[in-house]
Structure 1
Amino acid sequence: MSTTETRPGTQADKGYQALGSRRDRADGRLKIQGLAPYAVEKSLENLAYAVVVQSTIPHGKIVNMDTDKARQAPGVLAVYNHESGLTIHPAKTFSSGGAAAQAFLPLQSDKVLWNGQHIALVVAETLEQATEAAALISTEYSGEEAAIHPDDPKAEPESSEATTVSWGEAVPSLAAAEVQVGGVYTTPREYNCPIEPHGCIAHWQNGELTLWEPSQWVGGARQVVSEWMAIDSAKVRVLSPYVGGGFGCKGGIQPHSALACVASRELDRPVKLALTRPQTFTAFGGRPRTHQQLALGATREGQLVSIVHESWNETALEDVHTEPCNSVTPLMYASPNFQSHHKLIHLNTVNPGWMRAPGENPSSFAIEVAMDELASKLKMDPIALRLKNYAEQDPQAGIPWSSRRLKEAYQAGAEAFGWHQRPLEPRTLREGRQLIGWGMASGTYPVRRTPGEAQIVLHGDGSIEVQSSGVDIGTGTYTILAQTAADVLHVPSDSIRVTLGDTRLARAPVAGGSQLANVLTGAVHKTALALRDALITLAVGTPGSPLFQVPPEKIRLADGALRLETQSDTRISLAELLRLSGNEELVAHQDTFGKEAGEEDRDAAASTASMMIPPTEGGVSAHSWSAIFVEVAVDEDFGTVRVRRMVGAFDSGRVYNPKLTESQWIGGMVMGIGQALLEEGMIDSRDGRIMNANLADYLVPVNADIPALETINVGEPDFLATALGGKAVGELGIVGVAAAISNAVWHATGKRIRDLPITQDKLL
């Protein structure tokens, strides 16, 4: 069951499939027919193929690398290593306000910092020749002692003051609390595993570089490439027409792309570099391991009096990625006393990176399992406990919510699930040897906003094209932007062409943080209004037009024409208006920047993180909300866990396209099942090797693992959050799912699992 938001009187009701309609994805047919052009499928003359060689030790130096056999192999054009003199300049990382995913620069020194680091590159006429030659390279190392695991004595925690949150007297209040619960909650290393592995094609021509790159952020990629190569960003063009999944790992351009760029420059020909699936596990990082020690203090009636939270995440030895495990704990519940500290532990690992709902995901796991533990200890219904501690405003910022329909999510989800039939005591429900458990959890994700631009072109034949450098990472940007334009221009949305993923187009921020749909619909809506006004002005000011000198307020757009409101026969088509007025095309370009913003601000929004507006900007706190309900069956003999059904009730504000929104919610719920029950990066303690760096051994959910999933929309337009009233969608779906499954497993078995994934060995 899914609710569909409709707005009476909108063009969505008149067959245009504009905003609010359940229009199919514009790119769907292309993808199922194999016609959608992905970055590494670009066909170029004289294309060379590059293969990366990676280290096999976790820490040390390269003493000798024998490349003679590789250089002499058939078809080999070049072999590069740290002695080749290839210069790659540092780029500003995202954590420092830039756009690079890692500070690491490949082939710049003999240092080895993790097992799987890029240490050489082979370029040949064919992929097979490059692969064969790469296997002929042998490397001698001088090993150094490595810190593989967070409990290594050499791995000292580093405080991250920027993530410290505190108010009241949390520690003494916890000690004095009538009821206390808590424990240690951990999540393992997890990997994004998009179907499309990372790869790119770099092509230097006349001092300029074109890069075909599967990217969530072409503007950021262009900026980083310009820094790597020390050339003006105007000489770099990045194209990403389609992305075969990313889930965060394609948000920042990765170091292998620097190798393709520099090799193309050296060889003066285009170079394709595609990572193998195993290489994607060490060429960039997924979600890092996290550890949270969380304690709740409450009255016997269930009123929270204190929350004390200490956490850390692993990061690279000489790099930084923060997975803020306290991003949800200060927000979800009202507590008069709160204290949270987050730390980083530097290890010999590739720098971790973004993975769906970074921070919010592990944070929600700890607080939502702890709340279930408190409900159990107090013998309260978990929803009743949450309602008792419902935060009517943002507890951390002390300001109102822009909107918070979490109570409505609890109610709608509970009714659809049949929650009122749930017994309080665990091990109460069973079917033969199957123990049945019901669990629930809350979720939230912030509304992040970055200003952006859009351009709409009315071509001479009357066709309409929406243009943006923003990308469609599989979430439906192509579709929603056409619907946005159709909402204003009153033409069928499937007749509007949308062009995306090119840095030569109107500037847009990263497709990450669940922000892009709200950012670009706002920009396209504003641009469409400007085009509409320009058309009306042209119609009333062009001699020979049937609308010449008609008052503008009496003119309407409909079905590719302008017409007199009271006389529909008095009309002129858009194409005829352009011909009559002597225009080959009409272009409208608008943005959502403030009036004081200059070109530097616009460039910064498209290429750095500096212009991102926090969710508390403007005197209200803007977040999306969810309530997840799960039923599991646990085999009493074997300890296997199966999710049998799941209901998610979501407040994402206004839903622009219910079909696409539900798809994103469901996708997050599926990833949450994988996180809860299957996914875990296995690390060899001897040498830091990732032992399951493939899709056979790194387990992700498949169709057989997924039960019936039901989504419910409880949101309403929130114009305090965004221009068109939408809130975050894509990352909300996963938040709280692992906690709900863990809570259901406890309800089935009476065993509390605080360490993900929930595997048989932890239950038997």
Structure 2
Amino acid sequence: MTDSPAFEPSKGGVVGQPVNRVDGHAKVTGQAQYAAEYLLPNLTYAALKTSSIAKGRLKSIDTAAALREPGVLAVFTHENLPKMAQTPNTLAGKYAIYGMHMAFMPLTGNEIFYSAQPVAVVVADTFERATQAAALVQVTYEEARPVASYQSANAEVFDPNGQGYVFDLKKVVRGNPQASLAASAVQVKATYVHPINHHNPMEPGATIAHWEAPDRVTVYDSTQAVAMAQSSLATILGLPQEQVRVVTKFIGGGFGCKFNLWPHTVLATLAAKAVGRPVKLVLTRQQMFTSLGHREDQEQTITLGARQDGKLTTLIHEKTSTTSPWDIFAEPNGAILNWLYACPNYQSSHRVARANVMTSTYMRAPGESPGSVAMECGLDELAAKLGLDPLEIRLRNYANLDPGTGQPWSSKGLKECYARGAELFGWSKRSLEPGVTRDGRLLVGWGMATASYPVRPAQGRARVRLYADGHALVQTSATDLGTGTYTVITQVAADALGLPMANVRFELGDSNLPTAPASGSSVAAATVSSSVYLAIQDVWQRLTALAVRDSQSPLFKALPADVVREQDQLVLKKNPSKREKFSALLQRQGLADIEGVGNSKSGEGYEADQIAFDNKPGTKQTKRSMYSFGVHFCEVKVDPDLGTVHVTRWVSVMDGGRILNSKTARSQIIGGSIMGIGAALMEGTNRDEQYARYTNADLAGYHVPINADIPDMQVEFIDGHDPYVNAMGVKGIGEVAMVGTVAAVANAVYHATGKRVRSFPIVPSKVLGSDAV
């Protein structure tokens, strides 16, 4: 809450413009330092020895051969790893260490819970020597039969009943879904099956830990959440938070797998203290599949009831998925179904089964992305049954209020997205009948799906220092996932200060800076831009206070409320000829600089002189439901003999509130769409049923889209002005970019072939197989 006005863009300003990345030069010239690239004196290297079984116990570990290798400093196992003040291995520990609430800390006992669980850490003077020595560690096991997934015959599936550590997994019921389903004129029931998906960012998990004193450590870590990593490490190490510093200046992608603090970071930190030298630990590509979580394997059944005109009466969603032996994590797929379309009767439930796997975790739009598959494919199946156009059935079920809460939307430009997307794609030319459109011998299909993602609550702080020479320093501990945070915040600061972008330096990625939220859940741009903007308003208010007290200022004795900013000047509203540059004011005061701070909270309503809310003074404030919206349109061409599917056209139109940079925003939507195309057509990690081990844990076996798989993609944004979400009116677009993408591809494949494939990825054997319906 603030008494500062909501952001108004400067005339001719840079906010919203397609400005090139300010960090681009550093990246292409190699000057940008990622977590594994800090060259510290006496740096050593760590390598992990991991288990070859998925369930059982360690019988013995022989480290003698490894310790005899040249350059080896130490080998740590559960028998000699330095003790921790706290671990996440108990329920109390998970709540105490929020950043590790989904993790199990290995090397704390002899029990094996999943394949490739770390059982030893080798530290040597070179990477090669550490790797060689790790291979020489001899381990014997007492093996037990593992559970591979919720589909295993020995799996025990249960209702978590709200026990999830992250998401509330309670059964949700609205209205009377069973009775309304029985009375529905039309019904559709379908089950969609999803494999494990892994994030596979270009940069692997990496940590360098450096103890600068016995009780003070700096950790260079590839993390999306600097502040949370600092807090979690401090709890684990038993240190005051200010004695743990986490630095993350650049990240080579994350998509959610770098949101939490993971065991390898803790192991590197403990090893560094024990050997008395900095330690670098970088995960191999294969270890990335077993160390940073994944999107869980799952199946979801949707049951729709509708009137003959296509209006929904009932929506029932059931999900079953695999979780790890120590947590209860499941994506809340049902949530998006509760708000996306008008439906008076709704029910969702989740079931999980513990298996011998590394824990699942957040992956781009957790819950909303897979949940949208059930909703958007199910709605298409209903449209086909009723002979309706897929876009028409969505318009008939358009929600003017949030169906889950009954609240009005803070803003909703979804109809505008539909209209513009359909126009760009040429949707009106789509044949209603599937399997009839061809390009030569290839079958052509058009599909579409709605996208939506919540504006989640987040709080962040920023500090701005304005110098008398016309430069500014902006600071916050936020991270840049590679999506453009450096650039968009520089744009916001330049406009709000009235300075050229070249005169603004933005520093981030250091826990010593003001606390900011993680780069995840689409909160970073919204919260950080707002906190920076509010910090700058604090600067201008301080400058105004100086000016009205300065007898030499043209604004002397003016009321502060009558002073406004124009570019880099303070101006008297009633007499614009009375004005003064901030630089002249500071120099006359003998001040080299002036500093302001800002604290922004996004996603819970924003008040600014009551202009943001349409309530009359003295009346109860109306709560708003806050979401980003959008639509994806997809064309595929299918070879009827080979079953191959190629995406040949793509259009996305999004309502993400204020767009800070049209170029980086477009890149976000393209990236999310490509991830969706991958999940729809090729991505899936295979786990062996007998040994609970991955059989394709590398980029040779786990296929992701390449340039040849992706067409030119057309992206547009509507003017999504939203005065409620935060000071900047930014909703966030990182997650919504992927929501609906898998369904758009699947719906296009159905339109091309007349076959509905409900198991992902949609590989040629499924297109040609008898399991398609």
Same fold per superposition (TM over 0.5): yes
| SS at 1:280 equivalent | helix
2:181 counterpart of 1:177 = no
Matched, 1:272 2:293: no
Which residue of 87, 90, 101 maps to 1:90? 87
Alignment pair present for 1:310 and 2:306: no
RMSD (Å), alpha carbons: 2.2
Number of aligned positions between the proteins: 731
**Post-superposition offset of 1:554:** 7.3
CA distance in 2, matches of 1:77, 1:396: 58
Indicate which of 5, 22, 27 corresponds to 1:31: 27
1:232 offset after TM fit, Å?
A: 1.5
Quote the residue 1:719 is aligned against.
723
1:458 aligned counterpart, secondary structure: strand
Tell me what 1:239 maps to.
Answer: 247
Shift of 1:627: 1.2
Letter in 2 for 1:179: V
Question: How big is the shift at 1:234?
Answer: 1.6
CA distance in 2, matches of 1:619, 1:97: 32
Correspondence 1:165 to 2:172: yes
Quick one: percent identity of the two aligned structures? 40
Counterpart mapping for 1:595-614 below 5 A: none
Shift of 1:572: 4.7
Aligned letter for 1:209? V
- Residues 299-339 of structure 1: per-residue CA shift (max 9 Å, x gap): 22212121121102211011232211212111112222221
Deviation at 1:12, TM superposition (A): 4.4
The answer to whether 1:127 aligns with 2:127 is yes
Name the CA shift for 1:568/1:486 in 2 (closer, same or farther; >3 Å). Answer: farther
**Alignment-derived partner of residue 478 in structure 1:** 486
Does residue 1:220 correspond to 2:228, yes or no?
A: yes
How far apart are residue 276 of structure 1 and its match?
0.7
Paired residue for 2:52?
A: 56
Cα deviation for residue 160 of structure 1 reads 3.1
Cα deviation, residue 694, structure 1: 1.2
Distance 1:710 1:593 in 2: 33
Gaps of 5+ in 2: 1-6, 163-168, 603-620, 769-773
CA contact (8 A) 1:82 1:108 kept: yes
Residue in structure 1 matched with residue 697 of structure 2 by the alignment: 693
Superimposed CA distance per residue, residues 24-72 of structure 1 (whole angstroms, 9 cap, x where no aligned partner): 2211221122211112111111111111111111100011112111011
Aligned with residue 650 of structure 1, among 654, 658, 674 = 654
The match for 2:617 is: none
Asked if 1:432 corresponds to 2:437, the answer is no
Alpha-carbon spacing, 1:618–1:342, altered in 2? closer, same or farther (3 Å): farther
Per-residue CA distance 1:547-585 (angstroms, 9 max, x = gap): 6667767766566566788787975562x5444323343
Which residue of structure 1 lines up, in the alignment, with residue 589 of structure 2? 581
Q: In the TM superposition, what whole-angstrom CA distance separates every residue of 1:70-112 from its partner, at most 9, and x where no partner exists?
A: 0110000000111114213214777888222533112000110
Structure 2 CA distance for aligned equivalents of residues 121 and 756 of structure 1: 37
CA distance in 2, matches of 1:59, 1:194: 28
Q: Which amino acid aligns with 2:185?
A: E
1:312 touches 1:325 (CA, 8 Å); kept in 2? no
Are the equivalent residues in 2 in contact too, given 1:86–1:108 (CA < 8 A)? Answer: no
Distance 1:177 1:290 in 2: 28
The question of whether the paired residues in 1 share the 8 Å contact of 2:543 and 2:582 is answered with: no
Q: CA deviation at 1:365?
A: 0.3
Deviation of 1:474 (Å)? 1.5
Matches of 1:83 and 1:686, distance apart in 2? 30
**TM-score relative to the length of structure 1:** 0.92
Corresponding residue number in structure 1 for 2:626 = 622
The gaps in structure 1 that reach 5 residues or longer are 1-8, 595-616
Of 510, 519, 529, 2:518 maps to 510
In structure 1, distance between residues paired with 2:93 and 2:294: 16
Q: Corresponding residue for 2:470? A: 462
Greater shift, 295-304 or 564-573, is seen at: 564-573
1:516, 1:370 → 2: CA distance?
32
The letter of the residue matching 2:144 is E
TM-score, normalised by the number of residues in structure 2: 0.91
Query: What's the CA shift for 1:161?
Result: 2.9
Q: Tell me the secondary structure at the aligned position of residue 99 of structure 2.
A: coil
Contact 1:102 1:254 survives alignment (8 Å): no
Confirm or deny: 8 A CA contact 2:97 2:232 kept in the other structure.
no
Cα distance, 1:654 vs structure 2:
1.7
Q: Residues 45 and 281 of structure 2 are in contact (CA less than 8 Å); yes or no, is this contact kept in structure 1?
A: yes
For residues 588 and 287 of structure 2, what CA distance do their matches in structure 1 show?
A: 59
- CA displacement at 1:187 relative to structure 2: 1.2
Per-residue deviation at 1:214? 1.3
1:113 partnered with 2:113: yes
**Counterpart contact for 1:678–1:759, Cα < 8 Å:** yes
Is 1:205 paired with 2:203? no
Render the CA deviation track for 1:253-286: whole Å, top value 9, x for unaligned.
Answer: 1110010111111112111111111111001211
Q: Distance in 2 between matches of 1:647 and 1:40?
A: 38
Q: Per the alignment, do residues 559 and 525 of structure 1 end up closer, same or farther by CA in structure 2, a change over 3 Å counting?
A: closer
2:149 counterpart residue number: 149
Listed one character per residue, the Cα deviations across residues 384-407 of structure 1 (whole Å, up to 9, x for unaligned) are 111111122111112222222211
Give the AA of the match of 1:757: P
Task: Supply the distance in 2 between the matched residues of 1:122 and 1:488 (Cα, whole angstroms).
Answer: 51
* Shift in alpha-carbon separation, 1:578–1:43, aligned structure 2, 3 A: farther
Give the corresponding residue for 2:610: none
Distance 2:315 2:588 in 1: 70
Match of residue 612 from structure 2 = none
Q: Is the 8 A contact 1:491 1:559 kept in 2?
A: yes
